[in-house]
Chains A and B, each alone.
Chain A
Amino acid sequence: MKKERIFAKLKDIGVIRKLVQIGNGIVSNAYVKGFLTATIYKGPLKHFCVPGLNCYSCPGALFACPIGSMQSFFAARNRKVPAYVLGFLAAVGLLVGRFICGWLCLFGLIEELLYLVPVPKITLPKKADRVLRFLKYAVFLILVVALPLAYRNELGVGEPFFCKYLCPAGTLEGGAFLVTFNEGLRATVGFLFQWKVLVMVLILASCMFIHRPFCKYLCPLGAFYALFNKISVLRLKFDADKCIQCGKCKEACNMQVDPTKCPDSAECIRCGDCIRSCPARALRFDKK
């Protein structure tokens, strides 16, 4: 009984989700030697992808990044179909949808922590917000799929356009640390690194004013998982009979979703803030 009360209290204040996010970040980046020697892990776990965005060039990364891996298949000289990566991501999406974004993404956690900085918060006008949300699908189709497939250099190899020009996780988790502490890499820094640092700083700065701007507008992995939110096994269930129409769930949702109207919205990251805010317990996680 006491245990149940403690669990309920933890659940109420959302500590469980934060613990899961932090635990996932630590487990995915537990190669301490990499941080001490400014190198990366090269062991057998690197054969496997994590479900969230986690740069495999982070000194601590034990696993591969799914978006980076997918691009490397498209950019390879023989342009292979990334069957393992696509199948794995689709299976995860079909099971839990964007739950991964809310619970198991290290960069999402970093964005949420930055949002705690006490500065005035911004909510974009609805129209601009709605248009910008489509950007992440364009990022997936153009930077992750089309350009790595289409562009070839003189050696017949493509480039990972998303990782190279946009991904702030690579710069933050890998680039910043490695370039600072690895002399060999520092010597090769040029315009591209300055561009990536600028992009990272802009995205991280915007995280203080807007809740999870990268997830909402730019993340190709979020875009991919969003495709499965309406059909995934894990669902957000809304019980209209219990609803007292207080509007607290909509108010609590930092992704600007109204769970009473669209509990399966592609924008819902299944963080559970609406469930915790509902005084009538009209919302819950359930399986299909």
Chain B
Amino acid sequence: MKNKSVYITYILLVVSLALTAYGIVSGDLVDVFHKAAVICTECIGIG
């Protein structure tokens, strides 16, 4: 039972790392940058 749960954790970890890599390859970092490099008026309460 314990082994099974360990496997699930590590399989999910591999899947999440693959998802991260897919996001990076498909240009997500640029989208993150475009949002983060300008003052987010909504975030600071200006709208």
Q: Are B9 and A288 interface neighbours, CB within 8 A?
A: yes
Q: Are A47 and B18 interface neighbours, CB within 8 A?
A: no
What's the least CB distance linking A85 to chain B, in Å?
Answer: 7
The chain A residue sitting closest to B33, CB to CB, is A47
Q: Are A42 and B37 interface neighbours, CB within 8 A?
A: yes
Cβ of A190: which chain B residues have Cβ within 8 Å of it?
Answer: 46-47
Number of A-B contacts (CB under 8 A): 162
**A26 at interface (Cβ–Cβ under 8 A)?**
no
Main SS at interface, chain A: helix
The chain A residue sitting closest to B20, CB to CB, is A87
Segment 5-40 of B: residues with Cβ below 8 Å from A:
5-6, 8-9, 12-13, 15-24, 26, 28-33, 35-40
Q: Are B28 and A85 interface neighbours, CB within 8 A?
A: yes
Main SS at interface, chain B: helix
Q: Are A69 and B44 interface neighbours, CB within 8 A?
A: no
Task: Indicate which residue in A56, A82, A167, A231 contacts B23 across the interface (CB closer than 8 Å).
Answer: A82
The count of residues in chain A whose C-beta lies closer than 8 Å to any C-beta of chain B is 57
Q: Are A231 and B45 interface neighbours, CB within 8 A?
A: no
Cβ of A109: which chain B residues have Cβ within 8 Å of it?
Answer: none
Closest 9 CB pairs of A and B: A84-B23, A87-B19, A83-B23, A87-B20, A175-B44, A196-B45, A84-B28, A90-B16, A64-B36
Query: Which A residues are within 8 Å of any B CB, using their own CB?
Result: 39-42, 44, 46-49, 55-57, 61, 63-65, 68-69, 72-73, 76, 80, 82-88, 90-91, 94-95, 159-160, 163-164, 167, 170-171, 174-175, 178-179, 185, 188-190, 192-193, 195-197, 231-233, 288
* Known A39-B39, A87-B17; further 14 A-B contacts with Cβ < 8 A: A46-B32, A49-B32, A56-B35, A64-B32, A72-B31, A80-B31, A82-B23, A82-B28, A174-B40, A174-B43, A179-B44, A185-B44, A190-B46, A196-B45
